Amino acid sequence: MKNSNFKRNLIKITAILFTAVIAGLFNSCATSHLSNKNERYKIAVCDWMILKRQKLGSFALASEIKADGIELDMGGLGNRLTFDSKLGDPIERQKFLDKSKELNVGISSIAMSGFYAQSFAKRESITLMIEDCIKAMKNMNVKVAYLPLGTESDLNKKPELRPILIERLKWAGKQVGKIGGVIAIETSLNATEEKELLEEIGSKYIKSSFNFANAVDNGRDIATELKILGKKHLAQIHASTTDKVWLENDKAVDMPKIKKTLDDMNWSGWLIIERSRDVTQVHNVKANYGANVAYLKRIFQNK
């Protein structure tokens, strides 16, 4: 009788232990899957730099080179009143959303790259341009817009534009704030100066799109600049430099140090690759961006 009870209890205990082990394995796998979907740092590429400016093919190419997302451009500007964009068309916009979901390639931000060469300070139809971008953000559930203050709004070369730029950015901050979004500006200023500019604008909806290239090209340390700028002011990062070599071969970029700095700041977000192409094969999109994506994933995602 005692032996019979012992055997029954042993079977029960074994079954309980087996169930616990299986559950533990399942939970471990589930947690791993969840962490993959919710990485602290995600890696994207600019659609215009991979030669797929506002094209559906940008998602497939990003997927092929294993990027987590793309920075989706609003399209050309030229002399138009607003961007040459498909994103205002509900049917076309849905195609982008469907492709993003199908390939599991996110949209890090919506870019107004037309302002690399156009003047944000002087263009008369700024209201329409910003409103079109914010509509696209809202309809695509994207929280960040990228606004480069390029050659025509360079505050180092044209400091007289500062008052009008601040005025326009204050207004833009109010508009994007209505959807809970952020406009991330890129300037030619150093981190101290850019922080002062952001504080003068005084909007939590206007932040920085920090560019490695700006620091490196001007002999400044990337990690130090990030610390000065601070988590509060940092919306996204363009994690690449001027074309010379791949990121992993760039001696001016100490990527582990940069990651530690961002870890210490408790920052999380998108690292977006714009350039850092090998000049010996500058037109080889897959090789250049594939290598840079892989390197950033090794450092920031341990992959």
Q: How confident is the model at residue 8 (pLDDT cuts 50, 70, 90)?
A: low
Answer whether residue 242 shows pLDDT above 60: yes
**pLDDT (tens digit per residue) in 115-156:** 999 999 999 999 999 999 999 999 999 999 999 999 999 999
Arithmetic mean of pLDDT, 83-107: 98
What pLDDT score does 37 carry?
Answer: 59
How far CA 173 is from CA of 63, 76, 155, 284, in Å, comes to: 33, 23, 19, 38
Arithmetic mean of pLDDT, 83-91: 98
Arithmetic mean of pLDDT, 10-15: 46
Give the residue from 256, 275, 252 showing the smallest Cα distance to 264.
256
Give the residue from 195, 198, 211 showing the smallest Cα distance to 172.
198
Q: Which residue has the tokens 């406009």?
A: 183
Answer whether residue 12 shows pLDDT above 90: no
Give the residue from 73, 60, 244, 52 showing the smallest Cα distance to 148.
73
Q: Options 3.30.70.20, 3.40.50.720, 3.50.40.10, 3.20.20.150; which CATH number does 40-301 get?
A: 3.20.20.150
Q: pTM for this structure? A: 0.87
Give the residue from 40, 75, 34, 81 showing the smallest Cα distance to 297.
40
Which conformational region is residue 75 in: left (phi greater than 0), alpha (psi within -120 to 50 degrees), or beta?
left
Give the residue from 207, 210, 204 showing the smallest Cα distance to 191.
210
pLDDT mean across residues, the chain = 91
What pLDDT score does 38 carry?
Answer: 72
Arithmetic mean of pLDDT, 229-239: 98
